[in-house]
Structure 1
Amino acid sequence: MTFELKYTDRSYLPDQFKAISGNPPVEWKVTNNLVEYPEALRYMQERVENILAQNAHEQVWLLEHPSLYTAGTSAKKKDLLTPHLFPVYEAGRGGEFTYHGPGQRIAYIMLDLKRRRQDIRAFISALEEWIIQMLAKFNIKGERREDRVGVWVQRHSCQSTQNSLFSEDKIAAIGIRVRKWVSFHGVSINVDPNLAHYSGIVPCGITNHGVTSFLDLGLPTKMHDIDIALKQSFEQIFGPIIDIS
């Protein structure tokens, strides 16, 4: 099943989303070369089937893609503003259009929720909390919003309005699919991608908020340091990992 989460209460979050006792550590895989999207999609689909068959452990896969757009199950054709700018792939995940490219850390999350908690809203909240805790290690205040999924950064607006002196920009997107309670797809975090590449789409169908990155916030950061922070925060919420890179 795909899962679309909008306009619902996600203010509650379990203190832990760790697996039942005796569950093996989550495999932690990092690929440094750019990975083509169809290759990543095939890998995730095969991994999910193997997890369901109890032939593989849970896994988090960190990688980067070449520049491309993906369309979620709710994507609207009108939101693809420049159709031939980059390749466009049907992702099969929840959500709408998003951009992936160099300088963006992708984390594909293949977890068996039957071993954790069969609650998709709690899982989305846990993913958001993971990113929020990671950002805090760099003194970035990430926030969730009840009417839209992802992690947001509030900043002083250069073009203030009567309603607000602040703008809200997305720094991390979340889009998942769940098959028989095993998750795949995951999160994307803007470290230092070319933000102009978002101009070819309406990101996640949201027109009144922008996108940002570590670099855009004045914090140039190495991907290796992002990965360390992601690993530390992941263990706090989801439990132990084992590095297989």
Structure 2
Amino acid sequence: MLDAPLAYEPVWRDMQAFTDAAGADTPDEFWFLAHEPVFTQGTNGRPEHVLAPGDIPIAPSDRGGQVTYHGPGQLMGYVLADVRRLGMGIRSLVEGLELAVIETLDGYGIMARARRDAPGVYVPAAGDAKIASLGLRVRRGRCYHGLALNVDLDLEPFTRINPCGYQGLAMARIVDLAGPIAMDQVAADLAPAICRRLGLPRPPLPEPRLAPAPAMG
């Protein structure tokens, strides 16, 4: 289901359109998908952190943070939610997503942690390499964007940038730490963990979709 990557910009524009059209009763949604190879530059992004992009395009983004890489084999978990309805601030939202990833990885026997000084999820056993990145945008009381979890993607493009603005930051992926696992399975495990951490109703359990997932608000 998640092996047909999508271009970044149309998905980004769809998130903006969903957020702008959402009303007080619009259910929250998760979108699970993979992207075609792209470097995305967040609102705090500095051009000097893009070292040698080569043939991979650079796309602007209105999420927070610096430059990162997305590509096939990386699970994107976009959270489109009413943060006022959740009663959460941005820091609590980020922490909830980090804990959901940590919980999911623990189920695969991977011990991971969050860092207060640098949003994301890190693996101490791999030299504190980063296995998941987070970036959010809040507009009209709703958030969009979300997290990127490295499942089985090629890590080489990260050497062409300073990931998240950190020179030499090492990256990790699930398959190197826990063996082969399908992207669909990771999405199916991650969705209920996000619901628990954000206080959302537990989602139904059909296979995750490549495009927007079922509403869960």
TM-score of the superposed pair, with normalisation by structure 1: 0.79
TM-superposed deviation, 1:218: 4.7
1:194 pairs, out of 130, 154, 172, with 154
CA distance in 2, matches of 1:211, 1:38: 24
CA offset digits 1:218-242 (Å, max 9, x no partner): 5221112101211231232232224
CA distance in 2, matches of 1:213, 1:32: 17
Q: Which residue of 2 aligns with 1:181?
A: 141
- The answer to whether the aligner puts 1:101 opposite 2:61 as a matched pair is no
Contact 1:168-1:209 at 8 Å conserved across structures: no
Name whichever structure is richer in helix by fraction: 2
Structure 2, unpaired ranges of 5+:
207-212
Contact 2:3-2:72 at 8 Å conserved across structures: no
Contact 2:121-2:133 at 8 Å conserved across structures: yes
Q: Which residue of 1 aligns with 2:209?
A: none
Q: Which residue of 1 aligns with 2:19?
A: 48
- The answer to whether the aligner puts 1:223 opposite 2:193 as a matched pair is no
1:66-105 equivalences in 2 (<5 Å): 66-105=36-75
Q: Secondary structure at the match of 1:215?
A: helix
TM-superposed deviation, 1:35: 1.2
Aligned-residue Cα RMSD (Å) equals 1.8
Q: Secondary structure at the match of 2:18?
A: helix
Contact 1:34-1:65 at 8 Å conserved across structures: yes
TM-score of the superposed pair, with normalisation by structure 2: 0.88
CA distance in 1, matches of 2:116, 2:35: 29
Contact 1:85-1:200 at 8 Å conserved across structures: no
Structure 1, unpaired ranges of 5+:
1-29, 157-166
Contact 1:71-1:97 at 8 Å conserved across structures: yes
Identical-residue share of aligned pairs (%)? 30
Between 101-110 and 208-217, report the one with greater CA deviation. 208-217
CA distance in 1, matches of 2:25, 2:93: 23
Aligned residue pairs, count:
205
Q: Secondary structure at the match of 2:145?
A: strand
Runs of 4+ in 1 over 3 A off after TM superposition: 242-245
Q: Secondary structure at the match of 1:198?
A: helix
Q: Secondary structure at the match of 1:78?
A: helix
